[in-house]
């Protein structure tokens, strides 16, 4: 069924039934002028938004709409994780061409709902409108964090350890595989990570519980770029070791197969949505405890935060080089 | 300067400086992963989002970008007003073609900031990305309302008076004038209202303070459509009198000049952003007090809420007819 045949209010009716949630935080959700949300005393609210544009952020020739729905919410949830916050609810704006079919829009929202259920973030409202040509998505997420407990980008200081969760390079591998076509079965984890990334909500709160985390950011634009943001906001430099960067096995295998350098997978794999963070050196007073935590939470130490004057550098086979922190620029 | 030359982070830097606010509610705003907002105890938060798409919601050939910025925020603020809520802050997603110039983006954000200052709603974050062709905007607004004090669409009951603030038809007149070109000077209020609507934030809180308001919605799709939404959510009917609808003088003059019916201006003038609401009949125990309030707040009684079975009807010169509540449908 084409959207033009169902009409705007037909779409809203379908989505309202589909997205209804039992959350006791949402006093009133889809169907009124705005969502009404019960707050927790002693908590700050956290608000963030991300836009995804067809042809720029996603390609519908190889992206299932259901996965696109998941990803649209996941990328904003990742921003909450990077603040140490937990999700409360989301509101979603989509603009779709009238020639689009209702089943496609429903698939999109069903993926979005699936992600919302996985991370306790129900959809509390939105706006579904027509676009002339391209599919646009913007998701805003409200989260919460105990007052005084949010982790900013600006808290790193010289001597802190710079760490990352999980592994890097998977999303870029997934993108290369999907856009090249035909080898999806050989790189299943990467394809999955690119299409349906995991925001590190639970990992973030576990990290904060167990380590003196001084600053944090999510890896959406690639490691080098995020290191740049974090050091710039904290007015520090840093020094990492290339061999410490946890490259995904599939990324290494793809690069070898295609005889390409692994460097873009190490430094420029956007959309991995791991957490890059710094830990106060006090954590190393108990090296055994730190080692255990790092292992259990899959944390890797990349290097050390330095004074700003030392700049941002990477050590590779004993040689020190400046790290180019430009990263993914939408307009460049 | 074209956006492609400045780059994404160049744009963010410019906007960060421009949009910085002194709000003591925003603990941390633009520049981190998400905005951090101090909550007021005893309040619910209210969240809403609206999307605007070039070629569908606005036409850049006659819409100044500065006004577009104002309007993009104002339409979401109007949703807060319709809940009886007051604004806290906004996050903004925009997708613009790389060929767009930086001055245009700055003009857009300066209008948005101007609206935010007028309604105490600072911009706390956002996402500026590239689109292939069209300009796409999505604004999410967080507001707050005392717990238990929000006004929903669903609270109307038979016997309540159906009322509207201000006057209707102005936005449609402004649209007709602007899209027809050349008579802008003759209809200045309508042009202003279409380009830079006034969300009824202050009026809403004043109404709630002085009258037993039982339900409320903002007039974004046109009077008939909003009456339909309100009655449907409240499971009621209603009966209004055509002669009571407060038509703007400029709308009446435009229709006369062009020898057109005023009906579309009465029933289908979307984007007037007035408030449509119902008042418990208890308010009329003091008719003189009600009259004074209505006059001071520029409130007009359109008719009465009825049992659902009676349907939605309009009385015109003694004849009763069914009111078509379809309104503006993006996809129809």
> ipTM of this complex > 0.95?
no
* Cα A14 to the center of its chain, rounded Å: 29
CB-CB neighbors (< 8 A) of A85 in chain B: 34
Q: Which of B125, B120, B57 is nearest to A140 (CA)?
A: B125
Q: Using N-to-C axis directions, what is the helix angle for A65-83 and A102-118, rounded to 10°?
A: 30
CA pair distance B176, B83, nearest whole angstrom: 30
- As beta bridge partners, residue B216 has B277
The residues in B 139-178 lying below 8 A from A, measured between CB atoms, are 140-143, 145, 147, 150, 152-154
* Cα A211 to the center of its chain, rounded Å: 21
pLDDT per residue as tens digits for the range B111-136: 999 999 999 999 999 999 999 999 99
pLDDT value at position B223? 96
B5 CB neighbour count, 10 Å cutoff:
12
Is the CB of A6 less than 8 angstroms away from the CB of B331?
yes
| Contact present, A323 and A240 (Cβ < 8 Å) | yes
pLDDT value at position B7? 79
Phi-psi region of B182 (alpha: psi -120 to 50; beta: other; left: phi over 0): left
A264 CB neighbour count, 10 Å cutoff:
16
CB-CB neighbors (< 8 A) of A43 in chain B: 39
Of A39, A48, A57, the CB nearest to B43: A39
Judging by beta carbons within 10 Å of its beta carbon (0-12, 13-18, 19+), is residue A147 exposed, middle or buried? middle
| Contact present, A81 and A107 (Cβ < 8 Å) | no
Of A6, A131, A330, the CB nearest to B134: A131
Is the CB of A32 less than 8 angstroms away from the CB of B133?
no
Chain A contact present for B4, CB below 8 A: yes
pLDDT value at position A21? 80
Cα–Cα separations (whole angstroms), residue A263 to A86, A168, A283, A330, B122: 33, 11, 30, 21, 41
Is the CB of B79 less than 8 angstroms away from the CB of A34?
yes
- What's the distance, Cα to Cα, between the start and end of chain B in Å? 39
Is the CB of B34 less than 8 angstroms away from the CB of A133?
no
pLDDT value at position B3? 82
Q: Using N-to-C axis directions, what is the helix angle for B170-180 and B188-195, rounded to 10°?
A: 100
List the structure tokens of B303.
């008719």
| Contact present, A321 and A313 (Cβ < 8 Å) | yes
Q: DSSP letters of A193-253?
A: HHHS----HHHHHHHHHHS-EEEEEE-SS-HHHHHHHHHHHHTEEEEEEGGGS-B-HHHHH
Cα–Cα separations (whole angstroms), residue B61 to A51, B54, B68, B187: 25, 10, 12, 19
- Tell me whether strands B319-322 and B299-307 are parallel, antiparallel or unpaired: unpaired
Interface test with B, best of A5, A32, A123 (most B CBs within 10 A): A32
pLDDT value at position A6? 80
| Contact present, A44 and B25 (Cβ < 8 Å) | no
Q: Which of B293, B8, B36 is nearest to B130 (CA)?
A: B8
Chain A contact present for B321, CB below 8 A: no
**What global pTM score does this model have?**
0.93
CA pair distance A86, B126, nearest whole angstrom: 19
Phi, psi (degrees; rounded to nearest 5) at B10:
-65, -40
Kind and range of the H or E run holding B43: strand B43-53
Is the CB of A39 less than 8 angstroms away from the CB of B44?
yes
Is the CB of A82 less than 8 angstroms away from the CB of B3?
no
Is the CB of B56 less than 8 angstroms away from the CB of A129?
yes
CB-CB neighbors (< 8 A) of B26 in chain A: none
CA pair distance A323, B18, nearest whole angstrom: 30
pLDDT tens string, chain A, 332 residues long: the values are: 888 888 777 787 888 888 888 788 888 888 788 888 889 999 999 999 999 999 999 999 999 999 999 999 999 999 999 999 999 999 999 999 988 888 999 999 999 999 999 999 999 999 999 999 999 999 999 999 999 999 999 999 999 999 999 999 999 999 999 999 889 999 999 999 999 999 999 999 999 999 999 999 999 999 999 999 999 999 999 999 999 999 999 999 999 999 999 999 999 999 999 999 999 999 989 899 999 999 999 999 999 999 999 999 999 998 999 998 876 566 65
CA angle A132, A48, A120 (to 5 degrees): 100
> Which residues of chain B are under the pLDDT cut of 50?
none
């Amino acid at each position: 069924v084409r959207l033009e045949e169902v009409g705007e209010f037909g779409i809203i009716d379908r989505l309202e039934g589909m997205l209804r949630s039992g959350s006791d935080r949402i006093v009133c959700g889809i169907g009124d002028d705005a969502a009404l949300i019960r707050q927790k005393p002693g908590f700050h609210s956290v608000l963030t938004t991300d836009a995804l544009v067809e042809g720029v952020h996603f390609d519908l020739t190889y992206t299932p709409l259901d996965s696109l729905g998941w990803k649209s919410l996941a990328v904003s949830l990742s921003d909450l994780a990077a603040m140490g916050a937990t999700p409360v609810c989301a509101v979603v704006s989509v603009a779709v061409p009238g020639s689009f079919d209702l089943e496609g829009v429903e698939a999109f929202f069903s993926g979005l709902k699936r992600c919302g259920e996985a991370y306790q973030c129900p959809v509390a409202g939105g706006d579904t409108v027509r676009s002339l040509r391209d599919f646009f998505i913007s998701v805003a997420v409200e989260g919460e964090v105990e007052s005084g407990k949010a982790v900013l980008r600006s808290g790193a200081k010289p001597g802190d350890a710079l760490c990352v969760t999980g592994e890097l390079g998977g999303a870029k591998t997934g993108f290369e595989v999907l856009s090249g076509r035909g080898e999806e079965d050989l790189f299943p984890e990467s394809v999955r990570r690119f299409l349906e990334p995991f925001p590190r909500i639970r990992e973030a709160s576990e990290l904060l519980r167990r380590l003196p985390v001084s600053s944090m950011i999510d890896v959406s634009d690639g490691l080098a770029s995020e290191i740049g943001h974090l050091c710039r906001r904290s007015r520090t430099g840093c020094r990492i070791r290339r061999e410490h960067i946890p490259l995904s096995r599939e990324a290494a295998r793809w690069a070898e197969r295609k005889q390409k350098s692994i460097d873009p997978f190490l430094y420029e794999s956007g959309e991995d949505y791991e957490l890059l963070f710094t830990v106060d050196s006090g954590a190393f007073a108990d090296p055994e405890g730190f080692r255990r935590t790092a292992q259990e939470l899959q944390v890797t130490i990349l290097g050390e935060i330095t004074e700003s004057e030392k700049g941002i550098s990477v050590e590779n086979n004993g040689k020190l080089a400046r790290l180019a922190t430009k990263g993914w620029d939408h307009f460049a």
